[in-house]
Chains A and B, each alone.
Chain A
């Protein structure tokens, strides 16, 4: 099925550990996004990529890095995880502007 695939679905990290959240699309869309969702805060944009090879900061980029090496994949890296990064992370893409995003199923990350 066409869509956005995120891995892993769940992850527990210890403070200071690093990890990469993977996101892949099979929709051939240029734009991809990483959001985090926290209770009572809605979804906030971490980073986005308007096209292959380009990335830009969103509202809450501190503590994260991203990589868009090809059109299909957009990864999010936590270099040194902190408890404040405990959240649900969503990857999304967008085709024609204005028609909304397609979201992955999310990653629930807990940092202890």
Chain B
């Protein structure tokens, strides 16, 4: 069974600085998807970024980028120029291909605080 591990329960960063959130996963599959979701205090789950495993190029969405290391099964999220609105829980998630493998499996989350 696939597992997702986020080893940093809590992190903090100063406004305008850069922070990296770690995520590792375990799978025997070769093709899959990886995601980062943001959950602000409003509780809403918001998709931040996604990566397809067969693509070597790291995904980027504005200030958010990932470092995808397939061999190491690592998928970290880098937030540049941190803003107060980035304060949230961040969840890393894995999705395989098809059937029950196509369900999202989440890590336990990292609580990020951006300080002014």
Contact = CB atoms under 8 A, between A and B. Distances in A.
Interface of A: 31, 33, 35, 40-45, 48, 50, 56, 58, 88, 90, 92, 94, 97-101, 103, 105-106, 108
Interface of B: 4, 9, 33, 35, 37, 42-45, 47, 50, 52, 91, 95, 97-100, 102-109
Contacts of A48: 100, 103
B108 A40 contact: yes
Given A88-B43, A105-B43, A45 B50 contact: no
A50 B100 CA distance: 9
Contacts, number: 59
Contacts of A88: 43
Q: Which 4 A-B pairs have the closest CB atoms?
A: A103-B45, A42-B106, A42-B108, A43-B106
Given A98-B52, A100-B95, A103-B45, 19 more contacts: A31-B102, A33-B103, A33-B104, A40-B108, A41-B108, A42-B108, A44-B106, A50-B99, A58-B103, A90-B45, A92-B45, A97-B95, A98-B50, A98-B95, A100-B37, A100-B50, A105-B43, A106-B45, A108-B43
25 contacts: A31-B102, A40-B9, A41-B108, A42-B91, A42-B106, A42-B108, A43-B91, A44-B106, A45-B104, A48-B103, A50-B99, A90-B45, A92-B104, A94-B102, A97-B102, A98-B50, A98-B52, A98-B95, A98-B97, A100-B95, A105-B42, A105-B43, A105-B44, A106-B43, A106-B44
Contacts of B44: 103, 105-106
Given A42-B109, A43-B91, A101 B104 contact: yes
Contact of A98 (B33, B91, B106, B109): B33
Nearest to B36: A100
Nearest to A99: B50
A45 B104 CA distance: 8
